[in-house]
Amino acid sequence: MSLRTAVAHRNLLYLLSMKELRTRYRKSILGWGWSLLNPISQTLIYSFVFLIVFDAPTPVGDPSGLETFPLYFLSGLLPFQFFSMSVTTSIGVVEGNSSLIKKVAFPHEHLVFSVIVAQVITLLIELGVLVVALIIFGQMAIPWFFASLPLVGLLMVFTTGIAFALSAANVFFRDINYLWGIVAQILFYSSPILYTPDLIANDTLRALTNWGPLGSFVRAFHEMYYDGRMPGLGRWAHLTVIAFGTFAVGAWIFNRLSPRFAEEM
Amino acid sequence: MAAMTNSGGAALTVDGVSKTFRVHHERSNSLKQFIAARGRNRFDEFYALRDVSFEIPEGQAFGVIGHNGSGKSTLLKCMAGILRPNTGRIDVHKRMSALLELGAGFHPDLTGRDNVFLNAAILGMSRPEIAKRFDEIVAFSGLEQFIDTPVKAYSSGMYVRLAFAVAINVDPEMLLIDEILAVGDVTFQQKCMEKFVDFREEGRTLVLVTHDLASVRNFCDRAVWLEHGRLVDAGPPADLVDRYTESMLADPDAAKAVEGARRGSGEIRVDRVEMLVDGQRVFRIRTGDRVTFRLHYSARERVRNPVFAVKIGALGGALVTQPCTRDTQQVPAWIEGSGVVDVEMDAIPLLKGPHVVHTEITGFGRQHVFDHIQNAVRFDVVTGTPDESAGMVTFHPRWMIDGDGVAPHSEMFD
């Protein structure tokens, strides 16, 4: 597997991604509406919990001056959802295409790539909606949308690495699928999505939340969309190392295991 | 034509290939079991292929024959690149397409059109190539009207037709085919066969993995024979199929004695039935063999005027013949004790397929049944002489065609 095969089979990648997109909301009345309704409903629920049940102070955007919890929440939730949905779907797609893997020789990694491509298209649409919401609340976020594209790219690389590792391992141990459901929950609550890191008193815990792989991505999205400032060089360097490191490990695992998919499924 | 375009190069080389599978005693499909076993699964290595080597010459039709479980399909999957051999190597020198399962990549919710594009891409075609061949593919499938319907609404026949149309139009230089000649209706099968003939004439390479000895004999230039994962023999298909058939005839595992249903009053019974060719007990016969059916009987008491009969027919089909000893006026006055009754038949005209023998002993009036065994013996008829591709029996046809150039043994593909 390499970028070269990905380019050589770009047609397959394109068609698999289209299939992924077209068949996602089949037989549902709202169809693509669900991809927006889902984050909106989550925002409402968590805003209620955060603002009313816990009566926590709304984070203030610096320098944007925003003081709207739902927007803070959404700018962290969207990248997280991209990540968790991509990994969940990748695990399912590799498992679900066993008949194809057993009968046809084709680059298996395209199953994972196609999921990532389909999910990133969803993410970009959702970020577009977030930008509209931010503008309504007085924050001119259109430049930040474009500035965040390299960040989206790094998130894709990172997510692909995890998706590779877990979707390949799941062929051998179906527990991965269930285990991932739990891990995704832990990652959600340990990332500063429905709280701000400075609400954490413990120094070590705060640092972990701020600089844990996923927390770091979430913080970078906060900084761009909610705060309206460029993340520091340290953040960028950190994310780049995490993204490519994870990708290298994930791709290595996938490459090692994928020749045995056909006989293990 | 095929022979002439053969440039002598190899389209595919199989060199010392072995493939093992792990047969797990306790499969640890969960992490818990895996950790409990400390990362070691208990398993046996099972050799599906053992040190197989051969070469498929360019531009030939190549057959792979063998029983179920002989490693045919594993070999095909290794050649197709789906499985990776443990040792040895397979070099593919031509653009290859493998037809292992038709429509494996079809998505039921996508339309026929989308599935054509997706399936062709999975088989390795680029977008412009597919676009160029799209009309041809649809025309071949005969599904112009339904091409924008989701394939979940297709009948299984339509599904297979579309899938085959895609696979065959991928334009490979070499095509691997696994038992798929048996799809679709007769007309479509005919169309597929014609396409394969075209392929050969265009000097492309075909690899056929099949049980169907007749198609290997008629269609292939060369064949190999696999048994328990090893290459037993290789050579021109006619000889190879003969040797393979010989070995099958001697194979007692082939005896598929169906538990017969017995009725009758039981004073005299058939204990067992044997099939003999040249005095040897056999379990499979060839069209044209001289066959003796031997009925071992035993009588509890003296039975007057017993009439012996056998009924032979296709399994689950019509009876082809039912000779009895009364027809030939060979009814003994009485029988007691035990003994054998033989019925010998010259040049059995049955064509290949599963067959069955029922036996019957009745009184002279044929009304009283002493013993009747439904499905006393099940046997297979395999390709012999003459061979006909369809039908139930042969009448030993001789064709005479006016004009020159048609010798009785003209081989149409050469």
Q: If you measure CA to CA, which chain B residue comes closest to A263?
A: B83
Please report how the helices B112-122 and A10-22 are oriented relative to each other, as an axis angle in degrees rounded to 10. 140
Question: In terms of DSSP H, where are the helices of A48-174?
Answer: 69-96, 98-103, 109-136, 142-147, 149-172
Strand, coil or helix: what is B299? strand
Nearest to A20 by CA among A77, A106, A94: A94
* CA atoms in the 13 A half-sphere facing the CB of B138: 19
pLDDT beyond 60 at B288: yes
Q: Which two tokens stand for residue A37?
A: 């309704």
What's the pLDDT at B362? 92
What's the pLDDT at A92? 93
Separation CA B368–CA B298 (nearest Å): 17
What's the pLDDT at B250? 59
CB contact under 8 A, A106 and B127: no
Separation CA A28–CA A52 (nearest Å): 33
- Give B299-336 pLDDT, tens digit per residue: 988 999 999 999 998 876 778 899 999 999 999 998 98
Mean pLDDT of B69-76: 87
Strand, coil or helix: what is B230? strand
Q: If you measure CA to CA, which chain B residue comes closest to A22?
A: B110
Distances (CA, A) of B289 to A174, A261, B386, B393: 55, 48, 10, 13
CATH number (3.30.70.20, 3.40.50.300, 3.40.47.10, 3.40.1130.10) of B2-95+172-249 reads 3.40.50.300
CATH entry 2.70.50.60 includes domain B256-382: yes
Contacts of A175 in chain B (CB under 8 A): 30-32
Whether the CB of B222 is below 8 Å from some CB of chain A: the reply is no
CB contact under 8 A, A175 and B127: no
Phi/psi class of residue B76: alpha, beta or left (left: φ > 0; alpha: ψ in -120 to 50)?
A: alpha
Whether the CB of A182 is below 8 Å from some CB of chain B: the reply is no
- Give B139-158 pLDDT, tens digit per residue: 988 889 999 999 989 988 88
Of B30, B81, B100, the CB nearest to A175: B30
Angle at the Cα of B184 from the Cα atoms of B179 and B186, rounded to 5 degrees = 100
Q: If you measure CA to CA, which chain A residue comes closest to B130?
A: A11
Separation CA B310–CA B319 (nearest Å): 10
What's the pLDDT at B382? 87
Whether the CB of B127 is below 8 Å from some CB of chain A: the reply is yes
What's the pLDDT at B210? 80
User: In chain B, how long is the greatest CA-to-CA distance?
Assistant: 84
Q: How far is B14 from chain A (nearest CA, A)?
A: 17
> So where are chain B's domains?
2-95+172-249, 107-164, 256-382
pLDDT beyond 70 at B70: yes
Cβ neighbours, 10 Å, residue B387: 17
Phi/psi class of residue B279: alpha, beta or left (left: φ > 0; alpha: ψ in -120 to 50)?
A: left
What's the pLDDT at B403? 64
What's the pLDDT at A166? 97
Which domain does A240 fall in, by range?
3-264
Contacts of B117 in chain A (CB under 8 A): 15
Q: Judging by DSSP bridges, how do beta strands B284-286 and B174-178 pair with one another?
A: unpaired
Whether the CB of B122 is below 8 Å from some CB of chain A: the reply is yes
Separation CA A101–CA B82 (nearest Å): 7
Contacts of A103 in chain B (CB under 8 A): 82, 100-101, 104
B225 vs B402, higher pLDDT: B225
Contacts of A265 in chain B (CB under 8 A): none
What's the pLDDT at B26? 59
Q: Is the peptide bond before B386 cis (omega within 30 degrees of 0)?
A: yes
Number of structural domains in chain A: 1
Distances (CA, A) of B98 to A107, B69, B82: 15, 20, 10
Cut 0.80: pTM above it: no
Buried/exposed code over B180-197 (b: 16+ C-beta within 10 A; e: otherwise): bbebbeeebeebbeeebb
Angle at the Cα of A233 from the Cα atoms of A227 and A238, rounded to 5 degrees = 100
Of B29, B80, B104, the CB nearest to A99: B104
What's the pLDDT at B5? 41
Q: Is the dihedral of CA B154, B160, B165, B166 positive or negative?
A: positive
B208 bridge partner residues = B63, B177
CB contact under 8 A, B34 and A263: no
Whether the CB of A256 is below 8 Å from some CB of chain B: the reply is no
CB contact under 8 A, A175 and B31: yes
CB contact under 8 A, A19 and B98: no
For A:75-104, CB contacts with B below 8 A are 97, 99-104
Question: Which of B45, B122, B127 to mutate to test binding with chain A, by most A CBs within 10 Å of its CB?
Answer: B122
What's the pLDDT at B325? 92
Phi/psi class of residue A197: alpha, beta or left (left: φ > 0; alpha: ψ in -120 to 50)?
A: alpha
CB contact under 8 A, B31 and A259: no
- Give B173-192 pLDDT, tens digit per residue: 888 888 755 566 777 777 87
Helix (H) / strand (E) element for B76: namely: helix B72-80
Say yes or no: ipTM exceeds 0.85. Answer: no
Q: How far is A213 from chain B (nearest CA, A)?
A: 25
Distances (CA, A) of B210 to A105, B73, B220, B312: 20, 9, 11, 28
What's the pLDDT at B345? 92
Q: Which are the contacts of A110, defined by CB distance < 8 A and separation ≥ 6?
A: A6, A9, A12, A13, A16
Whether the CB of A2 is below 8 Å from some CB of chain B: the reply is no
Edge to edge, what strands does the sheet with B10-24 contain?
B43-57, B10-24, B87-92
Q: Are B21 and B80 in contact (CB under 8 A)?
A: no
Q: How far is B104 from chain A (nearest CA, A)?
A: 5
Strand, coil or helix: what is B274? strand
Tens of pLDDT along chain A (265 residues) come to 455 556 667 788 888 888 888 887 777 777 777 878 888 898 999 999 888 888 888 888 888 889 999 999 999 999 999 999 999 999 999 998 888 898 888 889 999 999 999 999 999 999 999 999 999 998 899 999 999 999 999 999 999 999 999 999 999 988 999 999 999 999 999 999 988 888 888 899 898 888 899 999 999 999 999 999 999 999 999 999 999 999 999 999 999 999 999 988 8
Q: Which are the contacts of B88, defined by CB distance < 8 A and separation ≥ 6?
A: B14, B15, B16, B17, B18, B51, B52, B53
Q: If you measure CA to CA, which chain B residue comes closest to A111?
A: B122
What's the pLDDT at A20? 83
Separation CA A194–CA A67 (nearest Å): 14
Mean pLDDT score across all residues of chain B: 82
CB contact under 8 A, A263 and B21: yes
Separation CA B68–CA A158 (nearest Å): 46
Separation CA A28–CA B102 (nearest Å): 29
Mean pLDDT of B245-265: 61
For B:75-94, CB contacts with A below 8 A are 77, 80-84
Separation CA B265–CA B252 (nearest Å): 32
Q: What is the distance, to the nearest Å, from the Cα of residue B37 to the centroid of all Cα atoms in its chain?
A: 42
What's the pLDDT at B21? 86
Contacts of B126 in chain A (CB under 8 A): 11
Q: Is the peptide bond before A63 cis (omega within 30 degrees of 0)?
A: yes
Helix (H) / strand (E) element for B189: namely: helix B186-201
Question: Which of B82, B106, B111 to mutate to test binding with chain A, by most A CBs within 10 Å of its CB?
Answer: B82
pLDDT band at residue B249 under the 50/70/90 scheme = low
Separation CA B42–CA B34 (nearest Å): 10
- Give B85-112 pLDDT, tens digit per residue: 999 999 988 888 887 777 777 888 889 9
For B:7-46, CB contacts with A below 8 A are 21, 28-32, 34
